[in-house]
A and B are shown apart, each in its own frame.
Chain A
């Protein structure tokens, strides 16, 4: 196994062009586990730790350009206001040590349906900035996940950053695991209210071959909020509405039975999380600006 250590982004792109089979490594929190368990032995590891721009972020007018290697702990500390859903998701990643190392680029590169960041990115709305020696492009997050642990990157491309829409309304994130910390998701749910566009977006993790949105649930809730004048009135949501939303969210799952949980449980739990996160987010919306996150 050869270990490539580019000093700059340009060198990294050149190395990836020369060795398309090279596996990029930044925090190593996923790749090193794979290697330790002998699940894979890539011919080349492409170490991105010297490429400093990857650990930087810029807050723009409408989006945050988040470098691929910005660690989860930094997102929790510095981007809670702009990216509340992703910050909550970051809280659920493994342990403090791993949150200091791992970043969203790794989650996207691996594209595991269990990646903690995915539901938050889907719910917020995001684009992946992919780059190669051929040039740079933006891949909408909805088109990024192409199969189980597969994504839309070309073999010579690296993830430079993620452009995530800044929150214009409340965002929530829940994840079920069978331990109260440091656990891989059995399933997860992200919800973002977008009062500016009067839309709702969602993301579901670990309950389908790829991270998915609950499209029917989003449309239903968007229409119900619009037709009921809820955005203006800020009235409490009728329980039947939340239940219907939960049912549609559960219906968006296409889960499997595995050692971490049954398909039935996953569907059930996604429904419960959809209902609860909607409740929290809507209360937050009604309270206008009062954050209602779990005090962590």
Chain B
């Protein structure tokens, strides 16, 4: 085995960032060959140099203080915009091989035979692996239920399931060799919906299930079922003056992150493996990877490579185990990069759902009850389905006061593509249905839809259907008031002195209308999303914070395993460290598994939980620094003993602002380092029969007003404005907050008017696995998104902040649908809306 080369100093250094020129030099000096990387080599027995594209530490400085509440710029922003950022797919290692996965061409089949001999005989091919080559008894993985085969064993359950692996010295060679693997399938009948999945004699996706949900589900093709029963919905329905019932369908949305699944596995001399990968939770990956490889976790050393978006789609494993298996088998570094086609099969999607809702209300506009049933299609493997069921059921009522509810949510096992985590996670589907219901109820009652919502809006202290009180501000009515109070964009906004500006019309540059058939509509929606992992999960994070003097300046280093997937956590961590430790320079260490788990970059939780962990570790470091100061200088000034002390501007100061000492003098050559775990308040599981329990940590609320122009003859839609008001508790970085809200809003717009993975109901095969036919919004589809940010502190959370990333994705979709309904008068019970739905031409 040849030794790998050192990363060229001139190569794109991955996420190495700095806020000024001096810091840039520091970052370059901290390239992979530095002393700390060397320490890892000694400890782990890994190779002496990291591959090209390995993330390096990022030092951020600022002439301003750059603490929380300021819009400090993202350290990775310029690199990404200029194309210099090293994503996981850019990684390179001398002597590396390329891995290729052979995937099933059918959705449900028995594998009659599998012949790899011809593939293995190809020149340049180093290994071909199938199920029979898996090294241990652990051959499945999964986030909660380990039901997903690393490689298919005798049966494939969905279109695109991994069947075999190839490693070759060139990606084209690997691709061709994979095509020479002969697989004989005997096709089996497919189950694709609730009726076929639970029909008598339906094929079972996982016969002999013994997972912890198997005992309480009504059918083995149901992954999990969560009822939530509170009060007496039947009796309450008797008090209703109007009852509105609706059936809603939510299509399968894809995360559509731009950086395909990719990574590099490098075998180590100690028999372990170094894995560089784009993921959302390093330690969750590690827990699933190591047993399959038959390695102790400390021999699988993971580093986060540059992540090109995630949105939930990287919670499950993709190429991680496959690359490690090939690397350990061949003794060579193995890189795997999916292409766009494979990416559509390489990650889970948002659960499509069918939702049946019944609401009642009194004549004076008070909701009486809710009965609903939510059926989520989880596809062939469990992934995050149980937790999605928990969210969908517990948030099924939305941000409204309803005392009497009868709610049921289930997730199915079918032969459709596996579905799991995506931004909004179960709450998105429910919001689409309850917000449509609110508009219909208001119409039945002859009330204004916003006033009707405000009348029933939840407040601080309201009990959720789970019996849990909402114990922080819940400004639902105020958010609605704010979006409604905003002036509307001018009518016929496409008219110019030169004629119609087609860019401002439905159809855009396709020149389909100059105003003919165009009708405006306005719609409102509001939603509630839980923040953090719920239902009793031990949802903690870990931060290692170090403080020392470098080149005459106090510098803090923050080391966590948080996956930076674009949310801006690396920016916020530096802001927190500056605020707590009073330093200008903060270095963010690359995320890896040499520090404790940070939990997932999911559930809008990272600023709360890993931000909280960084804050906590900084406070512990500060105590140690102050203790050093007291030992050295305590006798010089009585305030060392009597005042509350802070670290500000590189100095120790009293809360009255008096400077007691310089951090450089306090620290001298001491290094203060703390690694500590931090937890938010514990939660409880929901009762399996009644759904009662304090299951959630925190909530995030957003409201939208959509203004659309619909070409009613052609069924084309142009969203003109999508105003959002959201309570963020505390905006740690206001610019990033607005960016998150605009991004989430746009992702919600996408599933309102275009985004859908189309699965053939007869074959369960995906019909549009490409960006040619899976459409996501372009800039001409993206409206003006004015954002109104509220900061009502949640006293339970660090700095009073709320997780913000998901809430805007909820209400955006139903607001757009409401606006299209207003423009067309059509019922539109499904999303995304297609031109056929608007023109009666299905």
Q: Does A pair with B? A: yes
Q: Is A272 an interface residue (CB 8 A)?
A: yes
Flag if B839 contacts A268 (CB, 8 Å): yes
Given A183-B775, A296-B502, the answer on whether A175 and B511 have CB atoms closer than 8 Å is yes
What are the residues of chain A within 8 A of B175 when measuring CB–CB?
38
Task: Output the least CB separation between A72 and chain B (Å).
Answer: 12
Within A241-294, which residues are at the interface with B (CB < 8 Å)?
Answer: 259-262, 264-265, 267-269, 272-273, 276, 279-280, 292-294
Q: Which of B499, B512, B842 contacts A262 (CB 8 A)?
A: B842
What are the residues of chain A within 8 A of B713 when measuring CB–CB?
272
Flag if A88 contacts B842 (CB, 8 Å): no
Given A176-B716, A180-B507, the answer on whether A265 and B512 have CB atoms closer than 8 Å is no
Provide the B521-535 mask, 1 if CB < 8 A to any CB of A, else 0.
000000000000000
**In the bound complex, CA of A88 to CA of B511 (Å):** 8
Q: Is B841 an interface residue (CB 8 A)?
A: yes
Flag if A181 contacts B496 (CB, 8 Å): no
Q: Is B718 an interface residue (CB 8 A)?
A: yes
Q: Is B834 an interface residue (CB 8 A)?
A: yes
Given A38-B175, A180-B778, A295-B496, the answer on whether A280 and B514 have CB atoms closer than 8 Å is yes
Q: Is B26 an interface residue (CB 8 A)?
A: no
Flag if B509 contacts A92 (CB, 8 Å): yes
Flag if B778 contacts A174 (CB, 8 Å): no
What are the residues of chain A within 8 A of B775 when measuring CB–CB?
178-179, 183
What are the residues of chain B within 8 A of A33 when measuring CB–CB?
772
Q: Is A124 an interface residue (CB 8 A)?
A: no
Main secondary structure of the interface of B (DSSP, over half): loop
Within B771-800, which residues are at the interface with A (CB < 8 Å)?
Answer: 772-773, 775, 777-781
Among A95, A172, A177, which residue has the most Cβ atoms of chain B within 10 A? A177
What are the residues of chain B within 8 A of A269 when measuring CB–CB?
714, 835, 839
Q: Is A117 an interface residue (CB 8 A)?
A: no
Flag if A176 contacts B842 (CB, 8 Å): no
**In the bound complex, CA of A183 to CA of B771 (Å):** 10
Q: Which of B499, B500, B715, B780 contacts A265 (CB 8 A)?
A: B715
Closest to A182 in B: B778
Closest to B832 in A: A178
Closest to B503 in A: A296
**In the bound complex, CA of A180 to CA of B781 (Å):** 6
Q: Is A165 an interface residue (CB 8 A)?
A: no
What are the residues of chain B within 8 A of A91 when measuring CB–CB?
509, 511
Among A91, A295, A296, which residue has the most Cβ atoms of chain B within 10 A? A295
**In the bound complex, CA of A177 to CA of B835 (Å):** 9
Flag if B781 contacts A265 (CB, 8 Å): no
Given A33-B772, A265-B715, A295-B500, the answer on whether A179 and B778 have CB atoms closer than 8 Å is yes
Q: Is A173 an interface residue (CB 8 A)?
A: yes
**In the bound complex, CA of A264 to CA of B840 (Å):** 9
Q: Is A36 an interface residue (CB 8 A)?
A: yes
What are the residues of chain B within 8 A of A182 when measuring CB–CB?
778
**In the bound complex, CA of A267 to CA of B842 (Å):** 12
Q: Is B768 an interface residue (CB 8 A)?
A: yes
Flag if A292 contacts B499 (CB, 8 Å): yes
Q: Is B537 an interface residue (CB 8 A)?
A: no
What are the residues of chain A within 8 A of B836 when measuring CB–CB?
261-262, 264-265
Closest to A268 in B: B841
Given A176-B507, A259-B768, the answer on whether A294 and B835 have CB atoms closer than 8 Å is no
Flag if A261 contacts B511 (CB, 8 Å): no
What are the residues of chain B within 8 A of A259 when measuring CB–CB?
758, 767-768, 773
What are the residues of chain A within 8 A of B841 when measuring CB–CB?
262, 264-265, 267-268
**In the bound complex, CA of A38 to CA of B105 (Å):** 14
Closest to A295 in B: B498
What are the residues of chain B within 8 A of A294 when measuring CB–CB?
499-502, 505, 509, 511, 514
Among B498, B503, B510, which residue has the most Cβ atoms of chain A within 10 A? B510
Q: Is A122 an interface residue (CB 8 A)?
A: no
Q: Which of B339, B512, B758, B772 contacts A174 (CB 8 A)?
A: B512
Flag if A174 contacts B501 (CB, 8 Å): no
Given A259-B767, A259-B768, A260-B773, the answer on whether A186 and B835 have CB atoms closer than 8 Å is yes
26 A-B residue pairings within 8 Å (CB atoms): A37-B341, A37-B770, A91-B511, A92-B509, A92-B510, A175-B512, A176-B510, A176-B716, A176-B835, A177-B510, A178-B716, A179-B775, A180-B778, A181-B780, A184-B773, A261-B834, A262-B842, A264-B836, A269-B839, A294-B502, A294-B505, A294-B514, A295-B501, A296-B502, A296-B503, A296-B509
Closest A-B pairs by Cβ, 10 of them: A180-B508, A294-B502, A265-B841, A181-B780, A264-B841, A175-B510, A180-B780, A295-B498, A294-B511, A181-B778
Instruction: Apart from A91-B509, A269-B714, A293-B499, list 9 A-B contacts with CB within 8 A.
Output: A37-B770, A176-B512, A176-B714, A180-B778, A259-B758, A260-B773, A262-B841, A267-B841, A295-B502
